Structure 1
């Protein structure tokens, strides 16, 4: 029989085999045991966290006649057929390659027919976010009211791309990244059952490199086993993952702390000579600096992250480096990491970054003399002003003359509400429009790039009409940035057009001014109504009407408004 990858051979066959998702598996087991399963599920989360495996186990459990404590028996004909992928009533669909309207319509039409050999027909749609808008619309009605014998299980790594109309018709389960400790334990169990030897630091290195994905961890482990003749060693694990040993990272950071540029550059050359990936090396340095920073505040957290591999050198470095120095180092490494994407010579950027890191005091203290000088000048000016004030009070002068020396202060830019643009929106504003906007506001912000999303985090809609929307900000600074970012405003309006079918004009207002603006509008509206009433009253008592009443009598004169 042909060789199968570890992640295929050791794919979970029961809910109990799924690692790191105990809350989700327990919930599904309870629902199955109580016969309270839903007609549609949505499994979301990072890659390799067990979404598709859980979907297949759920399909087996729904159709298993020997269900015990919410777990399938894996021995009946239905369970064995689903495991082998030969049961016609369990249909797996890859939405990445079947994302058209015709494919979903075919599913909708076939779902009406009863299953052939199992109690339920189960559709597992993987990467469902890849479906087109038309395909989602075609699926919508069937997903809302499917036949009693049909269950839909949707899986995706990008839930923000799934329409809210789909999400609201499903039970959603968010799969979390698996902890490095859980990944390590699972790999150790697999190797013990396969009767293979391993070094514990090697499995810890693989668990960290997997970044929360069990499938990635088993793929790396498979590669290491092939590379090292069925014996997992730390050297081979580092070679496959491209990571660097903790000892070398510690020596590099020690050279940076002591500002020994020559030693740091030599260590860098060792990394280059070993063929390590430069992007991975910078990422390791950033994580090491992060761990040093966290260890100063929460040592137990770092012990858990590093799986108990914290050594004496690391503890000493956490005491040697100050928090501002680590902040500065992380910024330098992050900038270098961005530059590596656009160059064919990463070694140059790493060498420059190494030189910078070995001179942190010079870099950090560059701005200190200017600040000190300004503070000194301000103190001198304050002292002079106090002396002048004391002399004037002694001479009996109540109002001191203007000081010749005046410290320069930066004028604060204040954003004010655009009343001329807000009042027309309030004329047509309705609560229904505002509720509709609030319901899609979170999804609208998710469509923005991270930088723009962070800018709009301090905002919220406070009034809306079909033609416009008023958005308040609790920060004048962020309001100014948002007002000057026309590209972001256009993106918001286009996003609203996609979500609610209209593109209202967006107007920003400071949160502290919004109550005043609203009150001003109410008073103006009240005055306008009052003037209209007075005008009607005056028209009824016009001189012509009075003369008519005197000539013919009040009983024979009737006043009508045109």
Structure 2
């Protein structure tokens, strides 16, 4: 007898044998048991997910001599004919080669005749999206109101090419890609039946390469058996299909996360020399980082990944050490690298540069991390934890938590004298009338809670304007930008020997003269001790200010 490939030999014969499509088989089983079988079904899914297999099992269940039954006997003549593909009542049509309107007219004419043996005449049209528009239109009326003995079952990989008028007349089932774990379990069971010794890593490598298609996995296993015999290891699978081992992927993943560029270059060079598909490596890395991201976010719900236990344990082990924002950056860069590599002559060069960029993203702090550290610094600052060696430590000292802050006033008056006219100009933005009165004043001293401002006795009449609450509040807020704390303002007359604002510091007029001595906005913010503490902690600079 001629050899039968594993994909055909292991083809499911019962609904319970179909792998990974429980939502489809359960619905069809219930429909048969409750006598609610529709006249037209549309099976949608990628290759190797069980579309044609499900259609044949449904046809067999409807025409079984014991049926219709969700559990066909597989021994009656009708079941055997369906399994052999020579049943007169189950007509399988290839939509790619029978896509004309003439073939559909013949189908429509033959549908009127009663079935030869069973209760139903069943038409299975594979790759139905290949039918022409005229052929679809010719089928519409028959599909909407077929004879009672006719059932239509369509299968397609490109459902978007099927006319909506066809879809609306069918019950649609979307067949999912089969999970890696389900493929591994099915291959393991088949290997046990065939007496084949194969390692778990080898099964996992085959399942990864199948990309959700069980038929692809079975065909790959068939090829490996021809190459290696009945004792198969992971290296055999990798050698035949150019895949990358799970351990190499894990090492490359960790090298990226730890920004180990020499290790990245070394691993890429080894893969290139071994003839691995570098484009596929990017896809494998994308899947790896996606799994890691799911584990970081999902925690206990990570079991939904349906990964083998050893692989899931690996992701759970490393997830606490890495921040999700960085993983998202790496995924974005891998997607970009994948798109560029599709049209590149030197895939190795693009892969190396892409992974190096990923490694840099892995060590770059995200905005969320920076904000968290800033919040921690501010909390520490407020609770009395001035950072040793920071600029603020020379001008600000704190007691224990819960005590009042003790501000060292040394240097504060000098700072205010140098910038007094700039402060007056800021007050003028809030209270224009107070600005002219403040031109005849000068800062005298600061205490823990107060700023003492002297006014020229010659202009005593202006004091009432200076004592206005709005003017005092504007002055207090302007001073806060330079001293980093808000003080209440009190006034007293100037004495002859009291220091005055430096002559070089001239008041600003409406034309903008005198701006040469004006501190920039960044410098003003940097004078704030809290801001200075954060900037120095990150060894950074102020580039943008948003108020």
TM score, norm. by length of structure 1 = 0.64
Q: Using a 3 Å threshold, how does the CA distance of structure 1 residues 17 and 95 change in structure 2: closer, same or farther?
A: same
1:180 and 2:220 equivalent? no
Q: How far off is 1:35 after superposition? A: 3.0
Deviations along 1:198-217, one digit per CA (max 9) or x if unpaired, are 21222223223322222122
1:387 and 2:387 equivalent? no
Alignment correspondent of 1:332: 333
Q: Using a 3 Å threshold, how does the CA distance of structure 1 residues 118 and 180 change in structure 2: closer, same or farther?
A: same
CA distance in 1, matches of 2:249, 2:168: 48
Q: How far off is 1:23 after superposition? A: 2.5
Q: Using a 3 Å threshold, how does the CA distance of structure 1 residues 286 and 27 change in structure 2: closer, same or farther?
A: closer
The 5-angstrom pairing of residues 24-173 of structure 1 reads 24-67=24-67, 70-173=70-173
CA distance in 2, matches of 1:252, 1:143: 54
CA distance in 1, matches of 2:167, 2:150: 18
The 5-angstrom pairing of residues 361-400 of structure 1 reads 387-389=427-429, 392=432, 394=434, 395=437, 396=465
SS in 1 for 2:297: coil
SS in 2 for 1:55: helix
CA distance in 2, matches of 1:385, 1:291: 57
Q: How far off is 1:226 after superposition? A: 2.0
Alignment correspondent of 1:542: none
CA distance in 2, matches of 1:302, 1:267: 29
The 5-angstrom pairing of residues 419-438 of structure 1 reads none
Asked whether the 8 Å contact 1:78–1:87 carries over to 2, the reply is yes
Deviations along 1:249-270, one digit per CA (max 9) or x if unpaired, are 2322333344332222111111
RMSD of aligned residue pairs (Cα, Å):
3.3
Q: Which runs of 5+ in 2 are unaligned?
A: 375-418, 438-464, 475-508, 522-547
- Stretch moving more, 24-33 or 260-269: 24-33
Q: How far off is 1:79 after superposition? A: 0.8
SS in 2 for 1:309: helix
CA distance in 1, matches of 2:66, 2:294: 50
Asked whether the 8 Å contact 1:242–1:280 carries over to 2, the reply is no
Q: Using a 3 Å threshold, how does the CA distance of structure 1 residues 145 and 311 change in structure 2: closer, same or farther?
A: closer
Alignment correspondent of 2:205: 205
Alignment correspondent of 1:282: 282
Q: How far off is 1:19 after superposition? A: 1.4
Aligned length: 396
Deviations along 1:303-325, one digit per CA (max 9) or x if unpaired, are 54431123776555433432232
Q: How far off is 1:248 after superposition? A: 1.8
Larger Rg computed on CA atoms: 2
1:359 and 2:360 equivalent? yes
Q: Which runs of 5+ in 1 are unaligned?
A: 373-379, 408-562
CA distance in 2, matches of 1:257, 1:84: 54
Q: How far off is 1:10 after superposition? A: 0.9
SS in 2 for 1:349: helix
Q: Using a 3 Å threshold, how does the CA distance of structure 1 residues 195 and 68 change in structure 2: closer, same or farther?
A: farther
Q: Using a 3 Å threshold, how does the CA distance of structure 1 residues 14 and 389 change in structure 2: closer, same or farther?
A: same
CA distance in 1, matches of 2:323, 2:511: 42
1:345 and 2:340 equivalent? no
Asked whether the 8 Å contact 2:62–2:69 carries over to 1, the reply is no
Q: Using a 3 Å threshold, how does the CA distance of structure 1 residues 105 and 269 change in structure 2: closer, same or farther?
A: same
The 5-angstrom pairing of residues 456-475 of structure 1 reads none
SS in 2 for 1:359: helix
SS in 1 for 2:310: coil
Q: How far off is 1:34 after superposition? A: 3.1
SS in 2 for 1:296: helix
Q: Using a 3 Å threshold, how does the CA distance of structure 1 residues 248 and 91 change in structure 2: closer, same or farther?
A: same
Asked whether the 8 Å contact 1:67–1:73 carries over to 2, the reply is no
The 5-angstrom pairing of residues 219-234 of structure 1 reads 219-234=219-234
Deviations along 1:336-390, one digit per CA (max 9) or x if unpaired, are 2111111232111112223323433787799x99xx9xxxxxxx9x988753346
Alignment correspondent of 2:190: 190
Asked whether the 8 Å contact 1:254–1:317 carries over to 2, the reply is no
Q: Using a 3 Å threshold, how does the CA distance of structure 1 residues 363 and 110 change in structure 2: closer, same or farther?
A: same
Asked whether the 8 Å contact 2:40–2:153 carries over to 1, the reply is yes
Alignment correspondent of 1:540: none
SS in 2 for 1:275: coil
CA distance in 2, matches of 1:386, 1:231: 83
Alignment correspondent of 2:23: 23
Q: How far off is 1:238 after superposition? A: 2.9
